[in-house]
Each structure stands twice: as C-alpha cells, then as structure tokens.
Amino acid sequence: MTQARRMALVSGVALLAALGCNRPKVVHTVAKAAPAEVPGGTLTLAFNRKVQGPVELSLDGVRIPVLQSVKGGKTLLVTGIAPGRHRYFVQSNRDAFGPDQGELEMSAARGVYYVLFAQRFEGVLYGKTELTPIAEGIPGVSAILK
C-alpha cells in the first residue's frame, strides 16, 4: 500500500469515527408520572412531546371531534366513555404515534391512562392536506388536546 492510500484510509476512518461519536443523544422520558386516580369513563393519552395537531381520534370505529388550541398540547383527554371494552385509533398528518391504536377496558370506577410516543412527521410533503368531513362523534363523549 502506498503512503498516500494509507493516509487516505486513516483520515477516512478518523472522519467516520468523529461523525459517529458526535451524534446527539435522544432521550425519551415522560415529565410526570401517571396520576394516582383517573376518573371513571376517562381515557388520558399522555404524549412524550408536544403534539401540534390536528389530531383525529376514533373510538370503536366512530370519529370523535377533538377540540384543541392553536399551539397543540401534550395530553389528549377523552371523557364520557361507557364502561366496557373499546378500541381507539389516534392519527395526525403532522405527528406519528406509537402505538397509534389499542384496546382498553373502561370501568365506571376508574379511568385509563396511557403514555404514547409521539414524533413529528409531516404526512403531506407538497400542497395542502385534504379537508376531512366533520367528525360525527358519540353522544356524551368529548375529547380535548391540552
């Protein structure tokens, strides 16, 4: 091996090592623990980071309208859910969730609290998002992103 090739190889390895060691560390933690008591009929979805929205929520296949501020929020609070087993699905064109769907067992005495991973994800790269029809909702069930 010539001296020039050896120097090129050593500098390339050094460059790759420097780039690999300089990666920013990503830490996913939840700022606060689950509340001791969630009221019955309430589903609380806490996200690990602020979600911009708009957020779409489906409960048992029925879309629920989600109220939210312009700035978004870290908690999706759903109230008025009947006791029993339910399936939920959360989606957004600006955020990806993990897991984005699941099953929950709601009781009249105690609600459910889940922590979801949220990551910024722009689903529409060019143009504008399509307008979705207004969510029909379930009587007595309301959702708010705060």
More reliable by pLDDT, 18 or 104? 104
Whole-number Cα distances in Å, 130 to 30, 93, 123, 127, 139: 33, 10, 11, 9, 26
Domain ranges of the chain: 28-145
Q: 128 to each of 53, 105, 124, how far by Cα in Å?
A: 15, 37, 7
For residue 60, the tally of other CB atoms under 10 A from its CB is 15
Contact predicate 59/84, CB 8 Å:
no
Average pLDDT of the chain, as a whole number: 83
pLDDT greater at residue 19 or residue 69: 69
Q: Read off the pLDDT band of 53 (50, 70, 90).
A: confident
The more confident residue out of 23 and 58 is: 58
The average pLDDT across 136-141 equals 91
Can you tell me which residue has the tokens 């623990």? 33
> pLDDT tens-digit profile of 3-46?
877 777 777 666 666 656 655 554 444 445 567 688 999 999 99
SS3 content of the chain, % helix, strand, coil (to 5): 15, 40, 45
Residue 100 confidence (pLDDT) above 80 = yes
Q: Is 20 helix (H, G, I), strand (E, B) or coil?
A: helix
Q: What is the pLDDT of residue 33?
A: 56
